[in-house]
């Protein structure tokens, strides 16, 4: 598991696990639930053009960090071949979070029914 998701009070907490904390340069992201527009399961997003990496890494199908493309700022912590969800945000530093997670269908349903 690359990311552990939890809902605490009125926030979604994204906690990168293991060495992913080092690569993402983040211990956790805390997103107010009212800033979440929705979520989708999208394993194909890993093949999309990422844009400029600021900071982050991209190697062997593993994308981690902040990527800027046009007017979008996207946080990635995902790997090709894993279950990936995309969380759309508003009024945040990031427009989207692209995350490898366990139980992706459960999380998409949970987020979309907040």
Residue-wise pLDDT for 58-76, tens only, equals 888 889 989 998 889 999 9
Residue 21 is predicted with a pLDDT of 61
Residue 86: what pLDDT? 99
Taking 50 as the pLDDT cut, the residues of the chain under it are none
Neighbours of 106 (CB within 10 A): 11
pTM above 0.85, yes or no: yes
Sheet with 3-8, side-by-side order of all strands: 3-8, 11-16, 29-32
Q: What is the pLDDT of residues 76-88, one digit of tens each?
A: 999 999 999 999 9
Q: What are the boundaries of each domain within the chain? A: 3-112
pLDDT of 66 reads 92
């Amino acid at each position: 598991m690359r990311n552990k998701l939890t809902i605490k009070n009125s926030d979604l907490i994204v906690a990168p696990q293991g060495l992913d904390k080092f690569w993402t340069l983040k211990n956790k992201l805390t997103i107010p639930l009212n800033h979440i527009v929705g979520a989708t399961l999208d394993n194909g997003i890993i093949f999309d053009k990422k844009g400029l990496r600021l900071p982050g890494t991209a190697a062997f199908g593993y994308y981690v960090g902040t990527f800027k493309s046009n007017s979008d700022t996207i946080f990635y912590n995902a790997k090709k071949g894993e279950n990936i969800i995309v969380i759309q945000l508003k009024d945040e530093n990031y427009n989207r979070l692209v995350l490898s997670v366990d139980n992706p269908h459960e999380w998409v349903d949970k987020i979309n029914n907040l």
